[in-house]
Amino acid sequence: MASTRVRRLSRDLHRQRVHARVRTRVEGTPERPRLSVYRSLGHIYAQVIDDRSGKTLVSASSVDGETKKNLKGGGNIAAAKVIGKIVADRAKAAGVKKVVFDRGGYKYHGRVKALADAAREAGLQF
């Protein structure tokens, strides 16, 4: 039986390969930038990116100062919902209404789904 370290490395390597494959088809444009999600064990991060210019338009994460104070933990579904709402509000303030969702190679389940649903409820379209 493989050790935990080997299994974890293999799982992350698989996620990176899936993400690289999906990124060949998903591109953020100025009209419809990419909402990219990254999750670690303790935190969740979201960015709205224009891939044509290579710039991050807005971002939010559970390690931001103001956000971190209001969260009980950064790596749970409740935190993902808060981050989804914050990134959507910041995107709307920056003039972004439509995005392409990039789940980062993760399954559309749990924290990733919670972030996406919260962003939709806050007014982002994807």
Mean pLDDT across the stretch 73-89?
A: 95
Question: The pTM is what?
Answer: 0.87
Q: Position 113: which residue type?
A: K
State which fold the 4-121 domain adopts: Nucleotidyltransferase; domain 5 (3.30.420)
DSSP state letters, 57-123: EEEEETTSHHHHHH-S-SSSHHHHHHHHHHHHHHHHHTT--B-EEE-TTS-SSTHHHHHHHHHHHTT
Mean pLDDT value of segment 89-107:
96
Nearest CA to 51 among 34, 75, 71, 76? 34
**Given this model, what pLDDT does residue 86 score?**
97
Mean local confidence (pLDDT), 83-91: 98
The chain-wide mean pLDDT, for the chain, equals 92
Question: pLDDT tens for residues 28-75?
Answer: 999 999 999 999 999 999 999 999 999 999 999 999 988 888 888 888
* Per-residue confidence (pLDDT) for residue 10, from 0 to 100: 86
Instruction: Name beta bridge partners: 58.
Output: 48
Q: Is 122 exposed, middle or buried (0-12, 13-18, 19+ CB in 10 A)?
A: middle
More confident call, 111 vs 11: 111
Give 41's contacts (C-beta < 8 A, 6+ positions apart). 75
The full 3-state SS of 26-66, as one line of letters, equals CCCCCCCCEEEEEECCCCEEEEEEECCCCEEEEEEECCCHH
